[in-house]
Amino acid sequence: MKNNFKTISFMIAICVIGFASVLKAQSTYKIADSKNNNMKLSGTSTLHDWTMNAQVFISDARFVLSGRQISSLKGLSFSLAVADLKSGESGLDKNAYKALKTAAITYKLSSATVNNDVIKTRGTLTIAGVTKEVTIDVHAVVNADETITCSGSEKLNMTDYGVKPPKFMLGAMKTGDAITLDFTLVYKK
C-alpha cells in the first residue's frame, strides 16, 4: 500500500511537471522594440524604382518551441498603419496613401507548417479593404536571447487588392502593378 502511494505520487509529479513544460513551450510573442524590425514595400515606376519603409507595427504570434527549435506556429496577427510607410518623398507617400484607401494593412494566420527554420504560412492579407488568401514562406530563427527573428519576401500585384497603381504628373509618371513586400520582424515573450 505504501509503495502504491509512492508510485502514484511519483506519477502525478511527472504528469504535473510534463504538463507545466507543455504550457511553457507555447508562448505568446510580441514585436520587440528593436531597430532590427523593418517592413519594406518596393516597386517600379516610369521614372525610378521606389521603396517605402515602416518600422512601427503591431503583431503577436504564438510559437511552440521544442528546446531552441520552433515546432509549430499556432497563431499570428499583424497590423501596419499605412501612414507609417515612408519613402522620404512626400509626393510619393501622399499618392500611396490615397491609392491604399485604408488606415491599415493586416494579416491573420490560418495555418502554418514548420520545416526546419522555414515556416510556410497561409493566411488572409487585407490591403485597401480587399482580403485575399496568401501563402508566405517565413524564415524563423530562435536567437540566443530567446527572441525570434522572422524574415521573408512576397511578390504581390496592387490590382489584386483593388489598388490602382498611382499615376502623377498628369499620367506622365506611372507606377508598376507589381510590388515586393520584404520584412524582418523580431518577436519577444
The pLDDT score that the predictor gives to residue 1 is 52
Contact present, 101 and 94 (Cβ < 8 Å): no
Name the grid cell of 48: 525610378
Domain ranges for the chain: 27-188
For the domain 27-188, what is the CATH code?
2.40.128.110
Residue 53 to residue 87: CA distance in whole angstroms: 6
Q: How many CA atoms lie within 13 A of 133 on its CB side?
A: 3
15 Cβ neighbours under 8 A, 6+ residues apart: none
Q: Cβ of 80: how many Cβ atoms within 10 Å?
A: 22
The pLDDT score that the predictor gives to residue 82 is 92
Contact present, 120 and 152 (Cβ < 8 Å): no
Rounded to a whole number of angstroms, the CA Rg of the chain reads 22
Name the grid cell of 20: 507545466
One digit per residue, pLDDT tens: the chain, 189 residues?
Answer: 555 444 444 444 444 444 444 444 568 999 987 788 999 999 998 878 999 999 888 999 999 999 889 999 999 999 999 999 999 888 888 888 888 887 899 999 999 999 999 999 999 999 999 999 999 999 999 999 999 999 999 999 999 999 988 776 666 678 889 999 999 999 999
Residue 109 to residue 121: CA distance in whole angstroms: 7
**Which is it for the CA torsion 169, 175, 177, 180, positive or negative?**
negative
Residue 58 to residue 61: CA distance in whole angstroms: 11
The pLDDT score that the predictor gives to residue 2 is 54
Does the pTM surpass 0.85? The reply is no
- CA 115 vs CA 1, 103, 136, 140, 141: distances in Å: 49, 34, 13, 10, 12
Residue 165 to residue 175: CA distance in whole angstroms: 6
Residue 6 to residue 178: CA distance in whole angstroms: 67
